C-alpha cells in the first residue's frame, strides 16, 4: 500500500505541476493579449499598419499641346513632390520634423502647401481671403472646432492663432513665426488626414537640391517620401496665352463635380482655354503600384504595378508663326497709332486689339490673337514666386500690362463699314438692287425718318450717282443708308444671322460671347422702343446695336471669300495618342448659304477695289504684296464717346489671293481711329502666310479711312 500511495502522491504532484504550469502559461498568454490589445493595442495596431500593403498612384503625364506643324506649346518635364506619411512620432517630434523640412524648402527657394493662409495669415496676423464675411468665418470655425464654448472664444485672428498653437501641441520654445509654419502643415493633417499608406502632400515641384538634401538626411525625416511626378511646362506660350489657358489645383467645387471621374483633391485640372475644353483628352489615366512600407513610411518592397497611360496630345489648327506675327503686329501698330495722336480724331488711346485668320476652305483657325496677352507659365509658379503672384493678382483685378480677356472671342465690337458687304448681299439677294442696276444717287445730304445724314467725303455734292462697286470701294455711307431702307431690317437681320453674326461659332474655347444683332427684338429689349427707318439706315452701315466678335467677323469674311460656304471655325485639328495614332480628326463642317454667283462676284469686285482702286479706302497699304491681290473692307465704327476725347475703333477684314482665296483675316484695334489703321496688321499676317515677311516686321504706314457716321 505504501508503494501505491507514494506512486499516487507522485502522480498528484506531477498533475499539480502540470496544472500550475498550464495556468501560468494561460495567465502569461492572457497578460500578453491584454498588453497587445488593450495596454499597447493602439501602438501595435499602428505598427501593423506600417507593414500593410500601400497602393500609390503613378501620376500619368498630361497630353502635349502642339501647333499644326508639331511645334510644342505645352509639354511635360520631370518634377518631384514631397509627401509625409504617418509614423510613430509624437506631436513634439512631428513639429520638429515639419520645421526642418520647411527650412530646407525655404533655403532652396521651393514653395510648399499653405492652405491655412486662405483662412489665417501671419505678418500681419489676420483672417485670410476666404473669410471675408462673418458667415464664412462662423462656418469655418464650426468645421474646425467641436466645442461650442471654444468657438465663442475665437473672435479675433490672435485668438485663432493661440487656439491652434494649443490644439497642435506646439511648444513655447518656438517663435510665433515658427509656430505658424508648423501650423500650416498640421492644419492640412487635420483637414485632409494622413496615414502610413496614404501620405499627405506637402510640396509640389521641388528642386533637385531639396530632393538631394532630404535623401542625404533621410534619418532626420522619418515618413517623408519623394515621388517623381510629371509637371506641366509651357514653351514660349505668351503669343498663345488666350488659346492655351492654364492648369491649376482642382478647387473644392471642381472636386465635387469630378471626383467620380477619378480626380483627387490635389490633382491639377484645366482652368481656361484648350487646357480646360480638352481636359478629358489631355488627362491621362494614373497607374498604380502596390508597395510595402516600413515603420518610417519608407518603401521596402514594390510588389506589383500598373503603368500610367499618358493623356492624348492635342494638335491645334494654329500656325505658331502666324500667331506670333499677329501678336507682334498688333503691339507695334497700336504703339504707332498712339505715337501719332493729334487730339482731334486720334486721342492716343489705342490700347488693345485682336486678329483672327481662317483657312477659307476648311474653317481651320490659323491665328487667334488677343492683345494684350499673358504668359500661362505664371500659374505654374509657386506661392513664393512673388513676381508671378503679382501678375496673377493683376490679371484677376484687370490691371497692369497683361490681360486674360480674350478679345478674339469675347470682345464685342460694332462692325462699322465691314458690315457693308453683307448689306450688299442682302440687297442683291432680295432684289432691292441688281448686278445690272445697282445705282443709287448720293446728293450729299438726305433725310430718313426725320434724321438728316450727310456724306462725310462730299457733304455738299455727294458722290453723285454711284454703283455698288464704287460704293464699297469708297465706303459711301449715303449709298448704304438708302440701300438698307430699301432692303428692310428684317431681311438685313436674316442675312446677318445666316452669316453667323451675333451667333455662337462653337469654337472649342470657353466663354465665347454671342454678340448682338441690331433688330426690332433687340431694340425692344435694350431700349424698350419701336423700330424706325433711321435705325435701319444706321444698321446698314454696321452701327446702332450691332456688336460682333472678331471670330464672327473672320468667319463672315471667310464665307464671303469662298462663295457662300459658312464653315464652322475650329481650333482643334487632331487628337493623338502618345504613340502617334489618331484618336480624332476634325472634318470640315459647313452650311452652303446658296448665294448667287453674280452676287458674290459683284461684292468681290467692290472689296478688291477697296485695297487696289485709286479711291479705295485701303489703296496704298497692300502694294508690296503684289502680285498677290487682296480683297478687303475697312470699318471705323464710332464708340459714341468721340466728343469726350475717345477715338473710334478701327476694323479691317480681308482675304487673299482675291482670285483664289485661301486665307481670311479680321482685325480690330480698340480706339484705332480709322479702319485703315488696322489694315497693316492684316498685311503682316498675309505676308507671313505667303512667305513674304522679313525677320523684322516692317513699320507699316497707315492711311486715313473715310469717316463713317453722322446724324
Tens digits of residue pLDDT in 433-479: 999 999 999 999 999 998 999 888 888 888 999 999 999 999 999 99
The CA distance from 113 to 595, in Å, is 60
25 has which bridge partners? none
Report pLDDT digits (tens) over 189-228: 998 888 877 889 999 889 999 999 999 998 899 989 898 8
The owner of cell 473672435 is 155
Q: Is 266 helix (H, G, I), strand (E, B) or coil?
A: coil
Of these ranges, 293-302, 472-481, 693-702, the one predicted with the greatest mean pLDDT is: 472-481
Q: Which pLDDT band, with edges at 50, 70 and 90, does 389 fall under?
A: confident
pTM score = 0.84
Average pLDDT estimate for 529-533: 95
* DSSP state letter for 632: E
**Nearest in space to 160 (alpha carbons), one of 133, 180, 136:** 180
**Nearest in space to 607 (alpha carbons), one of 561, 651, 648:** 561
The CA distance from 190 to 50, in Å, is 20
**Given 3-state DSSP classes, what are the helix, strand and coil percentages for the chain, each rounded to the nearest 5?**
45, 20, 40
Average pLDDT estimate for 285-299: 71
Report pLDDT digits (tens) over 631-682: 999 999 987 788 788 999 999 999 999 999 999 999 999 999 999 999 999 9
Contact 263, 269 (CB under 8 A): yes
Q: Which pLDDT band, with edges at 50, 70 and 90, does 38 fall under?
A: low
Position 1 scores a pLDDT of 52
Q: Is 382 helix (H, G, I), strand (E, B) or coil?
A: coil
Contact 567, 555 (CB under 8 A): yes
Report pLDDT digits (tens) over 113-158: 998 998 999 999 999 988 888 888 888 888 877 677 777 778 899 9
Position 126 scores a pLDDT of 93
Strands 65-66 and 313-316, by their bridges, are: parallel
Average pLDDT estimate for 396-400: 84
Instruction: Report in angstroms the alpha-carbon separations of 41 from 36, 37, 46, 422.
Output: 5, 4, 8, 83
The CA distance from 607 to 616, in Å, is 9
* Residue % of the chain over a pLDDT of 70: 88
Strands 352-359 and 582-585, by their bridges, are: unpaired
Q: How far is CA 700 from the centre of its chain?
A: 32
Position 702 scores a pLDDT of 44
Mean pLDDT of all residues belonging to the chain: 89
Position 602 scores a pLDDT of 97
pLDDT at 346 over 80: yes
The angle subtended at Cα 316 by Cα 310 and Cα 322, nearest 5°, is 140
Instruction: Report in angstroms the alpha-carbon separations of 608 from 325, 495, 623, 674.
Output: 24, 22, 13, 19
Sketch out the chain's domains with CATH numbers. Answer: 51-78+232-316 (3.90.1310.10), 87-193 (no CATH), 320-689 (3.40.710.10)
Position 704 scores a pLDDT of 43
Report pLDDT digits (tens) over 260-271: 888 887 789 999
Instruction: Give 580's Cβ-side CA count (13 Å radius).
Output: 1
Q: What are the two backbone dihedrals, phi and then psi, of residue 47, each rounded to the nearest 5 degrees?
A: -65, -40
The set of cell numbers assigned to 378 is 505664371
Average pLDDT estimate for 576-587: 93
Q: Is 457 helix (H, G, I), strand (E, B) or coil?
A: coil
Q: Which pLDDT band, with edges at 50, 70 and 90, does 164 fall under?
A: very high
The CA distance from 254 to 564, in Å, is 42
Average pLDDT estimate for 594-598: 97
Position 288 scores a pLDDT of 85
The set of cell numbers assigned to 572 is 482643334
Position 7 scores a pLDDT of 59
Position 708 scores a pLDDT of 39
**Nearest in space to 701 (alpha carbons), one of 685, 682, 686, 679:** 679
Q: How many helices (H) and strands (E) does the chain have?
A: 24, 25
The CA distance from 503 to 311, in Å, is 33
Q: Which pLDDT band, with edges at 50, 70 and 90, does 354 fall under?
A: very high
Amino acid at each position: 500500500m505504501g508503494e501505491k500511495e507514494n506512486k499516487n502522491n507522485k502522480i498528484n504532484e506531477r498533475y499539480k505541476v502540470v496544472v500550475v504550469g498550464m495556468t501560468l502559461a494561460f495567465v502569461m498568454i492572457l497578460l500578453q493579449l491584454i498588453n497587445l490589445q488593450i495596454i499597447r493595442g493602439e501602438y501595435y495596431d499602428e505598427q501593423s499598419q506600417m507593414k500593410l500593403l500601400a497602393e500609390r498612384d503613378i501620376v500619368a503625364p498630361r497630353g502635349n499641346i502642339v501647333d499644326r506643324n508639331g511645334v510644342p506649346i505645352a509639354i511635360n518635364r520631370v518634377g518631384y513632390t514631397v509627401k509625409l506619411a504617418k509614423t510613430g512620432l509624437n506631436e513634439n517630434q512631428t513639429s520638429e520634423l515639419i520645421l526642418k523640412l520647411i527650412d530646407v524648402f525655404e533655403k532652396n527657394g521651393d514653395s510648399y502647401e499653405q492652405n491655412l493662409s486662405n483662412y489665417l495669415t501671419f505678418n500681419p496676423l489676420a483672417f485670410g481671403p476666404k473669410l471675408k464675411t462673418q458667415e464664412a468665418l462662423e462656418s469655418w470655425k464650426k468645421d474646425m472646432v467641436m466645442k461650442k464654448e471654444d468657438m465663442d472664444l475665437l473672435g479675433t485672428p490672435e485668438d485663432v492663432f493661440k487656439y491652434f498653437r494649443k490644439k497642435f501641441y506646439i511648444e513655447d520654445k518656438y517663435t510665433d513665426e515658427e509656430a505658424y509654419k508648423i501650423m500650416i502643415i498640421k492644419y492640412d493633417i487635420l483637414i485632409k488626414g494622413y496615414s502610413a499608406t496614404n501620405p499627405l502632400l506637402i510640396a509640389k515641384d521641388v528642386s533637385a537640391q531639396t530632393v538631394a538634401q532630404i535623401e542625404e538626411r533621410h534619418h532626420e525625416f522619418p515618413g517623408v517620401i519623394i515621388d517623381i511626378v510629371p509637371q506641366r511646362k509651357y514653351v514660349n506660350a505668351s503669343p498663345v496665352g488666350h488659346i492655351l489657358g492654364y492648369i491649376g489645383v482642382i478647387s473644392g467645387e471642381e472636386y465635387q463635380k469630378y471626383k467620380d471621374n477619378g480626380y483627387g483633391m490635389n490633382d491639377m485640372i484645366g482652368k481656361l482655354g484648350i487646357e480646360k475644353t480638352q481636359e478629358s483628352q489631355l488627362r491621362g489615366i494614373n497607374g498604380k503600384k502596390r508597395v510595402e512600407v516600413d515603420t518610417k513610411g519608407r518603401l521596402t518592397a514594390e510588389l506589383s504595378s500598373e503603368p500610367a497611360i499618358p493623356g492624348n496630345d492635342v494638335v491645334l489648327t494654329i500656325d505658331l508663326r502666324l500667331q506670333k506675327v499677329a501678336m507682334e503686329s498688333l503691339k507695334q501698330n497700336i504703339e504707332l497709332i498712339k505715337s501719332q495722336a493729334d487730339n482731334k480724331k486720334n486721342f492716343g488711346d489705342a490700347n488693345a486689339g485682336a486678329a483672327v485668320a481662317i483657312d477659307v476652305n476648311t474653317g481651320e483657325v490659323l491665328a487667334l490673337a488677343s492683345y494684350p496677352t499673358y504668359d500661362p507659365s505664371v500659374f505654374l509658379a509657386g506661392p513664393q514666386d512673388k513676381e508671378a503672384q503679382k501678375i496673377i493678382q493683376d490679371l484677376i483685378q484687370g490691371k497692369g500690362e497683361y490681360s486674360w480677356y480674350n478679345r478674339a472671342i469675347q470682345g464685342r465690337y460694332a462692325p462699322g463699314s465691314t458690315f457693308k458687304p453683307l448689306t450688299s448681299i442682302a440687297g442683291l439677294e432680295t432684289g432691292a438692287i441688281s448686278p445690272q442696276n445697282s445705282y443709287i444717287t448720293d446728293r450729299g445730304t438726305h433725310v430718313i425718318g426725320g434724321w438728316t445724314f450727310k456724306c462725310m467725303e462730299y457733304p455738299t455734292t455727294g458722290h453723285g450717282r454711284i454703283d455698288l462697286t464704287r460704293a464699297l470701294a469708297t465706303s459711301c455711307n449715303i449709298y448704304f443708308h438708302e440701300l438698307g431702307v430699301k432692303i428692310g431690317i428684317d431681311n438685313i437681320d436674316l442675312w446677318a444671322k445666316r452669316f453667323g453674326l451675333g451667333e455662337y461659332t462653337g469654337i472649342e474655347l470657353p466663354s465665347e460671347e454671342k454678340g448682338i444683332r441690331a433688330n426690332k427684338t433687340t431694340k425692344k429689349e435694350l431700349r424698350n422702343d419701336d423700330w424706325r427707318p433711321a435705325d435701319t439706315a444706321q444698321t446698314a452701315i454696321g452701327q446702332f446695336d450691332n456688336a460682333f466678335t472678331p471670330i464672327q467677323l473672320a468667319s463672315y469674311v471667310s464665307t464671303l471669300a469662298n462663295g457662300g460656304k459658312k464653315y464652322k471655325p475650329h481650333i482643334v485639328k487632331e487628337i493623338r495618342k502618345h504613340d502617334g495614332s489618331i484618336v480624332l480628326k476634325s472634318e470640315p463642317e459647313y452650311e452652303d448659304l446658296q448665294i448667287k454667283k453674280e452676287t458674290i462676284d459683284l461684292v468681290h469686285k467692290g472689296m478688291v477695289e477697296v485695297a487696289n482702286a485709286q479711291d479705295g479706302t485701303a489703296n496704298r497699304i497692300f502694294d508690296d504684296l503684289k502680285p498677290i491681290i487682296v480683297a478687303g473692307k475697312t470699318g471705323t465704327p464710332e464708340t459714341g464717346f468721340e466728343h469726350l476725347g475717345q477715338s473710334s475703333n478701327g476694323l479691317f477684314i480681308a482675304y487673299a489671293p482675291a482670285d483664289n482665296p485661301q486665307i481670311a483675316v479680321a482685325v480690330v484695334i480698340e480706339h484705332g481711329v480709322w479702319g485703315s489703321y488696322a489694315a497693316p496688321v492684316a498685311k503682316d499676317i498675309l505676308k507671313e502666310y505667303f512667305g513674304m515677311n522679313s525677320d523684322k516686321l516692317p513699320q507699316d504706314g497707315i492711311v486715313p479711312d473715310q469717316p463713317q457716321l453722322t446724324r
